[in-house]
């Protein structure tokens, strides 16, 4: 899986499989997991302002890139703008520069608006539309200046994307990162993104860390046994087989290794079975954000 890439609308290549770092905190743990992820072949790292681990990731990369004879351009780093920072050009610019400094980088490969709403305003307020627009204008400027190579969004619904595409300041969103797994398949959103050349990237591919419900689903476990793979590997492969990017997080070395060992094919029949699981969303829902 280390050689599978998607060409983004920005012209840059992004690995289809990335290493997620949500909830992974602490200098020693970050060093350990980044070390193992680079060792087994991950070349894409996903973080966010909200995760509170950008600085530790930056420190880890400073030490570990030379260890594996890697240069900056050999890795793809994604981070995201917190809902607290959406809005004025000054707030957005400060957030981007803070992330660059924390990560110890001169440019970001991908920068996403983490959420379509601003923390400072109610979800039902049309002020969110204005603030999203202001924010995108700043991101487009940073891309044109070369400080960010690709820009995109996270948790955007079709209507949020349609609004953005009407006024994109000359830079279309390259990625939409959303919850996606066999119980929350995002078929309509995927069709829309494919049509508009926006890469759909999944988070929470295994459901949620609060419950192992998806990993323990009888259909998932039964099919996984047929391929002699873990339920986690089956769920990740389900996404990849539809050209949906993945960013699985893991803090245990064996899970990090498993999450990139996805060189098997799921039959069409099994893909259909997985895609008929009862629908259930596990994470935050942007449906109420105007």
- On the question of pLDDT at 208 being above 90, the answer is no
Q: Please give the model's pTM, rounded to 2 decimal places.
A: 0.97
Give yes or no for a contact between 176 and 271, defined as CB atoms under 8 angstroms apart. Answer: no
Angle at 18 between CA 17 and CA 23, to 5 degrees: 140
Mean predicted confidence (pLDDT) in 138-157: 98
- Mention every residue, 6+ apart, whose C-beta is less than 8 A from residue 3: none
- Inform me whether the pLDDT recorded for 144 exceeds 90: yes
Distance, CA of 204 to CA of 218 (rounded, Å): 19
Class of the CATH-defined domain 5-211+240-252: alpha beta
pLDDT of 211 reads: 86
Cα separation, 80 vs 54, whole angstroms: 10
Query: What are the two backbone dihedrals, phi and then psi, of residue 161, each rounded to the nearest 5 degrees?
Result: -70, -40
118 pLDDT band (50/70/90 cuts)? Answer: very high
Q: In which band, very low, low, confident or very high, does the pLDDT at 210 lie, cut at 50, 70 and 90?
A: confident
Dihedrals φ, ψ of 172, to 5°? -80, 150
Average model confidence (pLDDT) for the chain?
A: 97
Would you state the torsion angle of the CA atoms of residues 70, 260, 143, 134, taken in this order, to the nearest 10 degrees?
A: -140
Closest Cα partner for 165 from 7, 9, 6? 9
pLDDT of res. 3: 78
- pLDDT tens column, 81-117: 999 999 999 999 999 999 999 999 999 999 999 999 9
Tell me the pairing of strands 13-15 and 5-7: antiparallel
Q: Is pLDDT above 70 for 203?
A: yes
Domains of the chain by residue range: 5-211+240-252
Residues 6+ apart with CB under 8 A from 129: 163, 290
Q: What percent of the chain has pLDDT over 70?
A: 99
pLDDT at res. 1: 64
Which residues are part of the catalytic machinery? 51
Length of the chain: 290
Give the number of other Cβ atoms within 10 Å of residue 168's Cβ: 16
Sign of CA dihedral 142, 44, 66, 98: positive
For the stretch 225-246, pLDDT in tens is 999 999 999 999 999 999 999 9
162 has a pLDDT exceeding 70: yes
Across 38-63, average pLDDT:
98
Q: What does the pLDDT average to over 154-162?
A: 98
- pLDDT band, very low/low/confident/very high, at 2 (cuts 50, 70, 90): low
pLDDT at residue number 209: 80
| Bridge partners of residue 187, in order along the sequence | none
Rg (CA), the chain: 18
Under the phi-then-psi rule, with left for phi > 0, alpha for psi from -120 to 50, and beta for the rest, what region is 145?
alpha
């Amino acid at each position: 899986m280390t050689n599978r890439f998607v060409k983004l609308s920005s012209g840059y290549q992004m690995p289809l499989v990335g290493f997620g770092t949500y909830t992974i905190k602490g200098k020693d743990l970050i060093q350990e997991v980044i070390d193992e992820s680079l060792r087994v072949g991950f070349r894409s790292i996903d973080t966010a302002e909200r995760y509170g681990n950008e600085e530790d990731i930056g420190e880890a990369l400073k030490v570990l890139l030379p260890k594996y004879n890697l240069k900056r351009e050999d890795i793809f780093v994604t981070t995201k703008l917190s809902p607290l920072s959406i809005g004025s050009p000054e707030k957005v610019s400060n957030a981007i520069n803070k992330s660059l400094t924390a990560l110890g980088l001169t440019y970001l490969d991908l920068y996403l608006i983490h959420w379509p709403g601003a923390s400072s305003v109610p979800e039902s307020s049309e002020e969110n539309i204005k603030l999203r627009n202001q924010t995108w204008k700043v991101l487009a400027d940073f891309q044109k200046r070369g400080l960010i190579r690709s820009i995109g969004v996270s948790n955007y619904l079709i209507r949020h994307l349609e609004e953005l595409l009407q006024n994109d300041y000359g830079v279309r969103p390259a990625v939409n990162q959303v919850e996606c797994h066999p119980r929350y398949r995002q078929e309509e959103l995927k069709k829309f993104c494919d049509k508009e050349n926006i890469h759909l990237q999944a988070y929470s591919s295994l459901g949620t860390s609060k419950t192992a419900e998806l990993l323990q689903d009888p259909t998932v476990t039964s099919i996984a046994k047929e391929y002699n793979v873990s339920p986690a590997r089956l769920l990740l492969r389900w996404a990849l087989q539809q050209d949906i990017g993945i960013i699985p997080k893991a803090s245990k070395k064996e899970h990090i290794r498993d999450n990139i060992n996805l060189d098997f094919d799921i039959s069409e029949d099994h893909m259909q079975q997985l895609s008929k699981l009862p629908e259930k969303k596990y994470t935050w829902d942007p449906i109420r954000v105007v």
